[in-house]
Structure 1
Amino acid sequence: MSRTPAPPREVRTYLDELVHRTRAVCGPRLVSVLAVGSLALGDYRHGRSDVDVTVVVDRSLPRRALPELAGALAHPALTCPAAGLELVVYPADFAGRPSGGAGYLMDLNTGPSLPERVSLDPEEAPAFWYVLDRSLAHQAGLPLFGRPVRDVIAAPGRPDVLTALRASVREHAEGEGHVADNRVLNGCRSVVYCRTGRWSAKRGAAEIVAASETDFRPLVTDALRSFERPRESALTLPGAAVREFLTWVAGRVDEAVEAEGGDGAPSREAPLDRP
């Protein structure tokens, strides 16, 4: 039987306290706390990576508990040792079924390198971020408290994941505020997912793309070098080369969508009634 990997030592005390405070606020309505993102994929880079956490609660959790939880976990009330904390709270009845929607109860961004953000309305944010996070969580989520990952997080369908990837690539090509190396490495991970149907760590995905795509090898290699540096001292990558690469990535995602026989439109579902 394989052992569940432990979080990196740099963030273990922090995650223990995060779970303690989340249990104190949510009480018996807390279902699970999961580490996702780079922590789950074994690619956490201290000083560069965010801590990504998914919290699953019973929908009966009082609405007033959500701002209380945000206050308890916000930096510096709880000092974040990483670049930032990205924490999403889902109701269990939503997280436990496949969906192409955002569906969260709360989305919290906080930390020394992240703009502070608390959202209690899933209509405020593009759904693709959350679809991709739940897909990764279902595959590799690291349990910190509560029920096992596969019991609480359903995998979104591949068409919904590909739709989300298409939007993600567009965001990284056109959106502001993304570090150039992260734009490239996320593109590599998108390509590998399209080829394999599984999520890979950014650095592993980049090595796969660099080995198979010689035209992009210098750019990907520079992105890997930059990713070893703190976020504030990332290398400057040539903008035209990054855009050309992301255009190529978008083409690979489009090919995957066509292979599925879809048009890349997200699935529509009737919303669950709120209490």
Structure 2
Amino acid sequence: MVDRRLPGRTLSDLAGALAHPALPCPAAGLELVVYPADFTVRPSGEAGYLMDLNTGPSLPERVSYDPAESPAFWYVLDRSLAHQSGLVLFGGPVREVIAAPERPAVLAALRASVREHADGEGHVADNRVLNGCRSVVYCRTGRWRAKRGAAGEVAASEEAFRPLVEDALRSFERPRETALTLPEARVRDFLAWVAERVDEAVEAAGAEGGSTGSR
């Protein structure tokens, strides 16, 4: 989070300094989002960033300075997760600088995320499945779990999908270039089931809101 009145070339210079291989990335990729501090302190369903940088040996190079270029749901989900579990490297406490998006905004973002992963373009199959697991656990509990933990919960409770989820976990442990091929029909069936769970959570949230408003 930064002051939005940064000097003109600050963000482009930062992107150039961090881009792989100018600064070799030791992992599959680096995803860096820079927000204005006056944006993140308020709940929002918008993207709202000043810069979004994707770089690294396994990520397509991308830098954007216009939030209108990107689907908002990625950033809503990231801020929700960061508010809950973010670690501070420098600056104030996470929950004081990043507001939690409201639950309806998070559920709307989950709907969009599931649609994106159901389409499948540009996403590794194991990640599509594990993100679906994390979405289900959030809908059930209102809390974010790491992908492996969420997958373990879904595998334990949903016998029909257990083999697919376990295969996704095995694939997730491999380098991205050697990820396992998962049966596309099963992945789509699973994500259709995930979408139903998200829709149920949306309906439940709407019913709770209506009940609260009538008191």
Which TM class, normalised by the smaller chain length? Answer: over 0.9
The residue type equivalent to 1:207 in the other structure is G
State the secondary structure of the residue aligned to 1:229: coil
Choose the corresponding residue for 2:40, options 79, 95, 120. Answer: 95
The residue type equivalent to 2:126 in the other structure is D
The residue type equivalent to 2:82 in the other structure is A
In the other structure, the counterpart of 1:187 is 132
Counterparts of residues 5-20 of structure 1 (less than 5 Å) = none
CA distance in 2, matches of 1:223, 1:70: 33
- Per-residue Cα deviation, 1:43-82 (whole angstroms, up to 9, x for no partner): xxxxxxxxxxxxx101221232110110111111111100
In the other structure, the counterpart of 1:267 is none
* Residue 155, structure 1, aligned to residue 100, structure 2: yes
Choose the corresponding residue for 1:250, options 180, 195, 200. Answer: 195
Structure 1: unaligned runs, 5 residues or longer: 1-55, 263-275
In the other structure, the counterpart of 1:83 is 28
Contact 2:107 2:202 in 1 (8 A): yes
CA distance in 2, matches of 1:244, 1:175: 13
Runs of 4+ in 1 over 3 A off after TM superposition: none
State the secondary structure of the residue aligned to 1:83: coil
Counterparts of residues 26-45 of structure 1 (less than 5 Å) = none
* Residue 228, structure 1, aligned to residue 173, structure 2: yes
More strand by share: 1
How far did residue 89 of structure 1 move? Answer: 0.3
The residue type equivalent to 1:160 in the other structure is A
The residue type equivalent to 2:169 in the other structure is L
The residue type equivalent to 1:68 in the other structure is D
State the secondary structure of the residue aligned to 1:62: coil
More helix by share: 2
Contact 2:114 2:195 in 1 (8 A): yes
How far did residue 147 of structure 1 move? Answer: 1.5
Structure 2: unaligned runs, 5 residues or longer: 208-215
Contact 2:120 2:128 in 1 (8 A): no
The residue type equivalent to 1:72 in the other structure is A
The residue type equivalent to 1:255 in the other structure is E
What is the TM-score with the length of structure 2 in the denominator? 0.95
In the other structure, the counterpart of 2:213 is none
CA distance in 2, matches of 1:130, 1:113: 21
Tell me the matched-pair count. Answer: 207
In the other structure, the counterpart of 2:4 is 59
CA distance in 2, matches of 1:146, 1:115: 30
In the other structure, the counterpart of 1:239 is 184
* Residue 178, structure 1, aligned to residue 111, structure 2: no
* Residue 136, structure 1, aligned to residue 81, structure 2: yes
What is the TM-score with the length of structure 1 in the denominator? 0.74
Segment drifting more, 142-151 vs 91-100: 142-151
In the other structure, the counterpart of 1:9 is none
* Residue 259, structure 1, aligned to residue 201, structure 2: no
CA distance in 1, matches of 2:154, 2:120: 23
CA distance in 1, matches of 2:106, 2:196: 16
What value does the CA root-mean-square deviation take over the aligned residues? 0.8
In the other structure, the counterpart of 1:123 is 68
In the other structure, the counterpart of 2:144 is 199
CA distance in 2, matches of 1:205, 1:170: 19
- Per-residue Cα deviation, 1:167-222 (whole angstroms, up to 9, x for no partner): 00000001411000000000000000000001001010001000110000110011
State the secondary structure of the residue aligned to 1:144: coil
CA distance in 2, matches of 1:76, 1:125: 24
The residue type equivalent to 2:53 in the other structure is L
- Per-residue Cα deviation, 1:220-267 (whole angstroms, up to 9, x for no partner): 0111111111111111100000000000000000000000117xxxxx
CA distance in 1, matches of 2:184, 2:24: 34
CA distance in 2, matches of 1:112, 1:199: 28
